[in-house]
């Protein structure tokens, strides 16, 4: 196969040859003759003359090859005490029926279907069932509130919505159906039908004529064979946070996605047919889409679907139990999960109860992997810990240590080197390429490799404006960092108003828009403050109208409530303080970065353009009331 260098340079010098070769990893209805269609820049399309079905590739072809009895999905739910397994054969029948059910409800190729579900096998069946029919799924994370769901309903305009009666969070049951009903009521677009999976813990009320009960609708549905789609047809839309309250619908195509993900399994993750692969994430995030569902199944692996938390379900040994019980070869999660385990069980005493020798690699992504956590995980598990870097927009890693090709030296704090097709530059504000070790904006030269977003759902102009305009000829990642002399990348910060909370992307702009709706809030700013467990937490500073007569504590509590109700509990929004005025430059720009430095106890200098320096003292006092900066250990 050659070295990483050979593979990377091969892909750069002959992209057509490289990606057509990679396309052989997929079963096509019409094999593509061309790799890249670059006739309409900056809209690039991969494998434009190819046709296929993604569900067929993830399921049927393994059954056709005699793998029907192999386990496709291991469902392990310590939070409910349930566990089960589903073979590829059973998954084929279930997805075929699901697709048949959708079709009988009037859903056709190209129609959108929203999936608002907890971590149960039916969620995967729903995603694959959409893919089988050629319908475009849009999974909305279960921790989002009704208003967020409504925004997505209005953007995606789904013909059907698939949901469940409830989710399970530690100590409480989250009733999904009232949230779904509220979202549909508030959305301008109305789906024709909802299919509701009734879970044991809670039964949902169904709306006559609109809602169907999953079992009744699915059990006897006709089995639909895979519908052929173009490689460039959309497989799914996944919404992600940007600078404003309007989430962006990242589009994923069928062909490029299948090729890139199938390539990634042996080459990046050193995983192949029959191996047990576990991405401890949620199907609502891109990691869940790519590495709980599509990539492991495309590769013929057994994927683990985990409904629980790294600690507290029931203890900090649950990851080790799952590795040993299911013989997991590769674990992929966010560093937060390991920080939580390390905090609860610093010496990893729980490990003594389990044999984790099946584990060969731990992969981390979603947020910066701090060296302490990497070293702890490496020491305790005795496997290489591989940091890798990617985004919802790319669908697969931009940078990684491709252990399936060769394991490169691990440098702590770096997600290593670019994957094939990603030509990554560090750019200055004027677009000039920075020298090694110099900090700048991280950008990927166009065209991007297969699987990367071809556009934003229904918004070609917004795609160009948000991603392709700042640096002509490049995709702007929104991350800042540098490359060292060996070409290793270091991700240091975001260049926009996005913060990263427990591996989830949150828009501070969006939180500000919600806070500003509170009738007593005249002005506000949300900053990300460092947090030992979750990486960052949002912190709101609000200025009240002089006419406000409510006690300050009450307004703060209401502000927290408002964000949790509008955005969802996943915002982890618990920190609010009041100040008289926001610190601004003379031109009116709020000094968020300076406030974040004060909160984090970092060195900061008085901006020369500040309107009134006294306000920053007031900010520091307000932050102290919330315990910031945190005392150092
Ligand atoms: N449905 C409803 N509510 C949800 C939810 C879901 N699917 N997922 C999370 N929530 C709620 C939680 O109950 C919590 O509510 P609370 O603050 O009122 O208690 C809130 O959203 C924040 O959730 P979470 O980020 O999971 O924090 P936590 O404090 O419950 O747990 C960790 C902390 C570290 C254990 C947890 O963040 C974790 O497992 N992180 C792993 C990171 C990860 O998987 N990232 C995915 C990207 S790769
Ligand atoms: P999301 O689209 O939600 O997966 O978030 C992507 C963002 O998470 C990236 O743009 C980075 O800011 C951050 N991120 C992901 N992986 C890493 C990593 N390995 N190191 C540092 N930051 C990361």
Is the confidence at residue 283, as pLDDT, over 80?
A: yes
Measured distance CA(576)–CA(552) in Å, rounded = 10
Q: Which ligand is nearest to the CA of 365?
A: 2
Query: Are residues 565 and 446 located together in one domain of the fold?
Result: no
Residue 559 lies inside a defined structural domain of this protein = yes
Nearest alpha carbon, ligand 1 atom 2: 143
- The tokens for 91 are 């998954």
Q: Residue 19: which pLDDT band, with cuts at 50, 70 and 90?
A: very high
Query: Are residues 470 and 519 located together in one domain of the fold?
Result: no
pLDDT in tens, 540-566: 999 999 999 999 999 999 999 999 999
Q: What is the pLDDT of residue 5?
A: 98
Query: Are residues 121 and 265 located together in one domain of the fold?
Result: yes
71 CB-near residues (< 8 Å, 6+ apart) = 85, 86, 87, 88, 302
Alpha carbon 374 to chain centroid distance? 21
Query: Are residues 139 and 34 located together in one domain of the fold?
Result: yes
Class of residue 361 by CB neighbours under 10 A (exposed 0-12, middle 13-18, buried 19+)? buried
Residue 317 lies inside a defined structural domain of this protein = no
432 CB-near residues (< 8 Å, 6+ apart) = none
Place of tokens 């975001």: 494
Q: Which domain holds residue 545?
A: 503-625
DSSP 497: S
Residue 28 CA neighbour count, 13 Å, CB half: 21
Measured distance CA(601)–CA(100) in Å, rounded = 58
Nearest alpha carbon, ligand 1 atom 4: 143
Nearest alpha carbon, ligand 1 atom 6: 143
- The tokens for 594 are 């300076």
CATH number at residue 590: 3.30.300.30
> What is the Å distance from ligand 2's center to 222 Cα?
41
Place of tokens 């969006």: 510
Average pLDDT over residues 317-344: 98
> What is the Å distance from ligand 1's center to 626 Cα?
22
Query: Are residues 417 and 533 located together in one domain of the fold?
Result: no
Average pLDDT over residues 521-548: 96
Q: Pseudo-torsion of CA 554, 145, 507, 248, nearest 10°? A: -150
Provide the strand spans (E) within 358-412. Answer: 361-364, 385-387, 399-400
Nearest alpha carbon, ligand 1 atom 38: 337
Residue 142 lies inside a defined structural domain of this protein = yes
Q: Does the beta carbon of 309 sit less than 6 angstroms from any atom of ligand 1?
A: yes
- Of 481, 515, 538, which closes a domain? 481
Nearest Cα residue to 321 out of 336, 311, 334: 311
Measured distance CA(401)–CA(411) in Å, rounded = 10
Query: Are residues 477 and 539 located together in one domain of the fold?
Result: no
Average pLDDT over residues 385-412: 98
Query: Are residues 556 and 433 located together in one domain of the fold?
Result: no
Q: Which ligand is nearest to the CA of 571?
A: 1
Residue 351 lies inside a defined structural domain of this protein = no
Q: Residue 632: which pLDDT band, with cuts at 50, 70 and 90?
A: confident
Q: How many domains does the chain have?
A: 2
Residue whose CB lies within 8 A of the most ligand 2 atoms, among 243, 247, 489, 500, for a mutation test? 500
Provide the strand spans (E) within 413-488. Answer: 417-418, 424-427, 440-445, 474-483
> What is the Å distance from ligand 2's center to 388 Cα?
9
Q: Which ligand is nearest to the CA of 479?
A: 2
Residue 341 lies inside a defined structural domain of this protein = no
Residue 22 lies inside a defined structural domain of this protein = yes
Measured distance CA(41)–CA(25) in Å, rounded = 27
Q: Residue 503: which pLDDT band, with cuts at 50, 70 and 90?
A: very high
Class of residue 424 by CB neighbours under 10 A (exposed 0-12, middle 13-18, buried 19+)? buried
- The tokens for 485 are 């002399």
Task: Decide: 223 and 136 in contact? Cβ < 8 Å.
Answer: no
User: What are the CA-CA distances from residue 623 to residues 438, 546, 619 (Å)?
Assistant: 32, 21, 6
Q: Residue 631: which pLDDT band, with cuts at 50, 70 and 90?
A: confident
User: Any alpha helices (H) in 134-209, and if so which ranges?
Assistant: 146-156, 176-186
Query: Are residues 545 and 591 located together in one domain of the fold?
Result: yes
Task: Decide: 152 and 163 in contact? Cβ < 8 Å.
Answer: no
Query: Are residues 422 and 541 located together in one domain of the fold?
Result: no
Q: What is the pLDDT of residue 610?
A: 84
Q: What is the pLDDT of residue 567?
A: 94
Residue 162 lies inside a defined structural domain of this protein = yes
Residue 605 lies inside a defined structural domain of this protein = yes
Q: Does the beta carbon of 285 sit less than 6 angstroms from any atom of ligand 1?
A: yes
pLDDT in tens, 241-251: 877 778 899 99
Average pLDDT over residues 62-79: 98
Residue 285 CA neighbour count, 13 Å, CB half: 21
Q: Pseudo-torsion of CA 72, 78, 82, 85, nearest 10°? A: 10
Strand 440-445 with 211-213, pairing: unpaired
Query: Are residues 615 and 562 located together in one domain of the fold?
Result: yes
Q: Which ligand is nearest to the CA of 292?
A: 1
Query: Are residues 190 and 262 located together in one domain of the fold?
Result: yes
Strand 172-175 with 302-306, pairing: unpaired
Task: Decide: 612 and 542 in contact? Cβ < 8 Å.
Answer: no
- Of 481, 514, 541, which closes a domain? 481
> What is the Å distance from ligand 1's center to 448 Cα?
32
pLDDT in tens, 137-192: 999 999 999 999 999 999 999 999 999 999 999 999 999 999 999 999 999 999 99
pLDDT in tens, 220-268: 999 999 999 999 999 999 999 877 778 899 999 999 999 999 999 999 9
Q: What is the pLDDT of residue 1?
A: 67
CATH number at residue 178: 3.40.50.12780
Nearest alpha carbon, ligand 2 atom 15: 366
% of the chain exceeding 90 in pLDDT = 95
- Residues with beta carbon inside 6 Å of ligand 2? 240, 286, 365-369, 387-392, 415, 477-479, 491, 494, 500, 505
Query: Are residues 186 and 86 located together in one domain of the fold?
Result: yes
Q: Residue 98: which pLDDT band, with cuts at 50, 70 and 90?
A: very high
pLDDT in tens, 466-478: 999 999 999 999 9
Q: What is the pLDDT of residue 611?
A: 82
């Amino acid at each position: 196969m050659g070295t990483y260098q050979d593979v990377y340079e091969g892909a750069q010098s002959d992209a057509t040859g490289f990606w057509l070769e990679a396309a052989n990893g997929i079963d096509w209805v019409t094999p593509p003759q061309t790799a890249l269609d670059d006739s309409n820049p900056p809209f690039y399309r991969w494998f434009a003359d190819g046709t296929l079905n993604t569900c067929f590739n993830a399921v049927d072809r393994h059954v056709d090859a005699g793998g029907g009895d192999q386990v496709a999905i291991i469902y392990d739910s310590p939070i409910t005490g349930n566990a089960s397994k589903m073979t590829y054969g059973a998954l084929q029948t279930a997805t075929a029926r699901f697709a048949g059910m959708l079709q009988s409800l009037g859903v056709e190729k190209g129609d959108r279907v929203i999936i608002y579900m907890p971590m149960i096998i039916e969620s995967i069946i729903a995603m694959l069932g959409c893919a089988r029919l050629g319908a475009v799924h849009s999974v909305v994370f279960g921790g989002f509130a009704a208003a967020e769901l409504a925004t997505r309903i209005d953007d995606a305009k789904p013909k059907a919505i698939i949901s469940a009666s409830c989710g399970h969070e530690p100590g409480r049951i989250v009733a999904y159906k009232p949230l779904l009903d509220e979202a549909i009521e508030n959305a301008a677009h109305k789906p024709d039908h909802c299919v509701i999976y009734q879970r044991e813990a809670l039964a949902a009320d169904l709306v006559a004529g609109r809602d169907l009960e999953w079992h009744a609708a699915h059990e006897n549905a006709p089995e639909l064979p895979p519908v052929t789609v173009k490689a460039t047809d959309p497989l799914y839309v996944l919404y992600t946070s940007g600078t404003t309250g309007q989430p962006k619908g990242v589009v994923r195509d069928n062909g490029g996605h299948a090729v890139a993900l199938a390539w990634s399994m042996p080459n990046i993750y050193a995983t192949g047919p029959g191996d047990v692969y576990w991405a401890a994430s949620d199907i609502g995030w891109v990691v869940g889409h790519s590495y709980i569902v599509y990539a492991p199944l495309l590769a013929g692996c057994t994927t683990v679907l985990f409904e629980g938390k790294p600690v507290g379900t029931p203890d900090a040994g649950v990851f080790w139990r799952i590795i040993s019980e299911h013989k997991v070869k590769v674990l992929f999660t966010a560093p937060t999960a390991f920080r939580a385990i390390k905090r609860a069980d610093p010496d990893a005493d729980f490990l003594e109860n389990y044999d984790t020798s099946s584990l060969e690699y731990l992969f981390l992504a979603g947020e910066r992997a701090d060296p302490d956590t990497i070293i702890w995980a490496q020491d305790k598990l005795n496997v290489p810990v591989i940091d890798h870097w990617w985004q919802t927009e790319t669908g697969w890693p931009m940078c990684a240590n491709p252990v399936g090709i060769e394991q490169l030296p691990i440098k702590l704090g770096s997600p290593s080197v670019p994957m094939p097709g990603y030509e990554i530059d560090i750019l200055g504000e004027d677009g000039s390429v920075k020298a090694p070790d110099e900090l700048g904006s991280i950008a990927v030269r166009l065209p991007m490799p297969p699987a990367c977003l071809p556009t934003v759902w229904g918004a070609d102009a917004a795609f160009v404006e948000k991603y392709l305009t700042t640096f002509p000829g490049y995709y702007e990642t929104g991350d800042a960092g540098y490359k060292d002399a060996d070409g290793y990348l270091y991700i240091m910060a975001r260049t926009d108003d996005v913060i990263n909370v427990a591996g989830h992307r949150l828009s501070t702009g969006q939180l500000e828009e919600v806070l500003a709706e509170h009738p007593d809030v005249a002005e506000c700013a949300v900053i990300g403050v460092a947090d030992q467990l979750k990486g960052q937490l949002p912190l709101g500073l609000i200025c009240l109208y002089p006419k406000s007569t409510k006690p300050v504590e009450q307004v703060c509590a209401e502000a927290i409530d408002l964000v949790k109700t509008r955005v969802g509990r996943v915002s982890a929004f618990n920190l609010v303080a009041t100040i008289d005025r926001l610190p601004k430059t003379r031109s009116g720009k709020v000094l968020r970065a300076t406030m974040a430095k004060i909160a984090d106890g970092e060195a900061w200098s008085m901006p020369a353009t500040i309107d009134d320096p006294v306000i920053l003292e007031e900010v520091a006092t307000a932050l102290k009331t919330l315990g910031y900066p945190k005392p150092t250990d």
